[in-house]
Amino acid sequence: MERLNLGPFTLLPSYMVMQSVPELEDFESPLEALAFLQRNIFWWIGDLLLEGEKKYGDYIWQHAPPGVSQDMLDRCVAVSKAYKRSERNPNLSWTHHMVVANKRNRLKLLEEAEQQGWTSGELRQKAGRNRSSNFEDDNFAGSVE
């Protein structure tokens, strides 16, 4: 995909152009769509690669998008693998989930982060204080921090 059209806006790699002079209301829907994409893209990449691995094994990696680091793709897969879909909190960012993905008490930490309104950085600090909750899991692909 080389472009994405959202109303009078055309999104290209690293910039946007307007096809016409938009009204103020014309900004709302594209901004909502982009925010939705931004909040969920890493979940989708991880889930897509996991599903591809189930069906095609390592061959799926031949179709990984160019320009995205292998480390980032590995993190997407690791975080998707760490949480059942029912355990993912849509009120918190993917980054919140990533910073505690290797913690035994990750669901409790996410719940507390939501209740306290912590940023992902604050969650990382709070989770780092409780080192006893770390665990090593050979199935956890790559480092998530």
Q: Is residue 74 part of a domain?
A: no
Say which DSSP state 93 is in. Answer: -
Residue 7 has pLDDT above 50, yes or no: yes
pLDDT at 141 over 80: no
Answer yes or no: is 145 within a domain: no
Sequence-ordered list of residues with C-beta below 8 angstroms from that of 126, at least 6 positions apart, any chain: 109, 112, 113, 118
Domain that includes residue 90, residue range: 83-140
Q: How far is Cα 118 from Cα 81, in angstroms, rounded to an integer?
A: 23
pLDDT at 130: 61
Q: What is the pLDDT of residue 66?
A: 84
Which ranges in the chain belong to alpha helices (H)? 28-56, 70-82, 94-99, 106-116, 120-128
Same domain (yes/no): 89, 134: yes
pLDDT in the model for residue 140: 39
pLDDT in tens, 53-103: 999 999 999 998 788 899 999 999 999 999 999 999 999 999 999 999 999
pLDDT band at 136 (very low <50, low <70, confident <90, very high): very low
Contact, 9 vs 17, CB < 8 A? yes
